[in-house]
């Protein structure tokens, strides 16, 4: 919740600055001009009177579609949907802004908020496969498009968390297959973790499970090689101790230690 309000504060500062720089001096016979309506809308927004704020933002978009305030009103409208956890509508509106205003000065923020809408829908690795993928894709897009943006660093941190979530899913499925003695399917899952999500906390366990499966199916050399990798990279982990104990006879222990020495 605190994170949301920090984002909200940044957005208020962002849109206020853009609004104050408006050079449009056009006078109309309409009672409220774009700037006046925008100030009114922001006032409603700050008081959390979101329905009234949306009415004012939509009025700006309709009456002054080419004004700076209209673009900011579109962003604010999407942000209100985000606050209300109406992620689908927020994403739809953020996409419209991206498509219609590709050269917007702060377009990086719009891409970032779109990614956050997917990210915040991730609740459990078993249930949110599509949101994991979409969050990862959109966070990566922020980094690729705007490597120097203030939002890239936060996007990178969130990518690590998303990848941990994806790795957890592969880990659970791999354990399930292993218990059912479906070793090939289990190995595939564990190897995905090692190759694609090696920065996550699940890598040492995945390596141990691979060692365990190789040992179970009689591939002792492969088991020793994998245990050696655990010993080299995670010598103090419980997973190395388990793999070491699994290959418990002196011959296998000597083999593991020799493998580790060769890696050094």
For 217-240, the pLDDT digits (tens) are 999 999 999 999 999 999 999 999
- Per-residue model confidence as pLDDT tens digits over 18-66: 444 444 444 443 445 888 889 999 999 999 999 999 999 999 999 888 8
Distance in angstroms (rounded) separating the CA atoms of residues 144 and 142:
6
**Chain centroid to CA 260: how far?**
36
| 258 or 118, higher pLDDT | 118
Between 125 and 178, the higher pLDDT residue: 178
pLDDT at 194: 95
pLDDT of residue 66: 85
Cα–Cα distance for residue pair 35/57, rounded to 1 Å: 11
Terminal-to-terminal C-alpha distance of the chain:
47
Give the pLDDT of residue 170: 93
Give the rounded percent of residues in the chain with a pLDDT score beyond 90: 62
Q: Could you tell me if 106 and 150 are in contact, meaning their C-beta atoms sit under 8 angstroms apart?
A: no
Nearest C-alpha neighbor of 24 from the set 62, 71, 69, 59: 69
pLDDT in tens, 126-157: 545 788 889 999 999 999 999 999 899 999 99
pTM for the whole structure: 0.70
For the chain, give the longest Cα–Cα distance. 93
Average pLDDT, the chain: 84
pLDDT for residue 262: 58
Domain boundaries, the chain: 31-84
The pLDDT of 161-179, averaged and rounded, is 92
Q: Assess contact for 243 and 211: CB atoms under 8 A.
A: yes
| Sequential DSSP letters for the chain | -HHHHHHHHHHHHHHHHHHHT-------SSSS-HHHHHHHHHHHHHTT-HHHHHHHHHHHHHH-TTSHHHHHHHHHHHHHHHHTT-HHHHHHHHHHHHHH-TT-TTHHHHHHHHHHHHHTT---TTT-HHHHHHHHHHHHHHHHH-TTSHHHHHHHHHHHHHHHHHHHHHHHHHHHHHHTT-HHHHHHHHHHHHHH-TTSTTHHHHHHHHHHHHHHTT-HHHHHHHHHHHHHH-TTSHHHHHHHHHT-SHHHHHHHHHHHHHH-
CA dist., res. 8 & res. 21, Å (int): 20
The dihedrals phi and psi of 131, each to the nearest 5 degrees, come to -70, -35
pLDDT attached to residue 247: 86
Per-residue pLDDT band for 124 (boundaries 50, 70, 90) equals low
């Amino acid at each position: 919740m605190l994170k949301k309000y920090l984002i909200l504060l940044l957005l208020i500062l962002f849109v206020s600055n853009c609004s104050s720089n408006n050079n449009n001096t056009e006078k109309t016979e309409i009672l409220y001009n774009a700037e006046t309506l925008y100030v009114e809308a922001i006032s409603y927004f700050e008081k959390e009177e979101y329905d009234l704020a949306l009415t004012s933002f939509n009025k700006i978009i309709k009456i002054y579609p080419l004004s700076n305030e209209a673009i900011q009103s579109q962003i604010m409208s999407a942000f209100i949907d985000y606050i209300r956890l109406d992620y689908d509508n927020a994403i739809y509106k953020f996409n419209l802004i991206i498509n219609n205003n590709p050269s917007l000065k702060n377009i990086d923020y719009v891409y970032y908020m779109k990614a956050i809408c997917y990210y915040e829908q991730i609740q459990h690795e078993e249930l949110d496969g599509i949101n994991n993928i979409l969050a990862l894709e959109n966070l990566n897009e922020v980094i690729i498009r705007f490597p120097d943006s203030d939002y890239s660093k936060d996007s990178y941190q969130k990518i690590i968390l998303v990848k941990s979530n994806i790795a957890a899913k592969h880990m659970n499925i791999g354990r399930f297959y292993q218990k059912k003695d479906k070793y090939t399917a289990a190995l595939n899952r564990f190897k995905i973790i090692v190759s694609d999500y090696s920065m996550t906390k699940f890598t040492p366990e995945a390596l141990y499970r691979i060692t365990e499966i190789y040992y179970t199916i009689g591939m002792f050399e492969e088991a020793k090689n994998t245990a050696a990798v655990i010993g080299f990279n995670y010598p103090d982990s419980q997973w190395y101790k388990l793999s070491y104990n699994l290959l418990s006879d002196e011959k296998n222990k000597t083999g593991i230690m020799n493998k580790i020495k060769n890696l050094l």
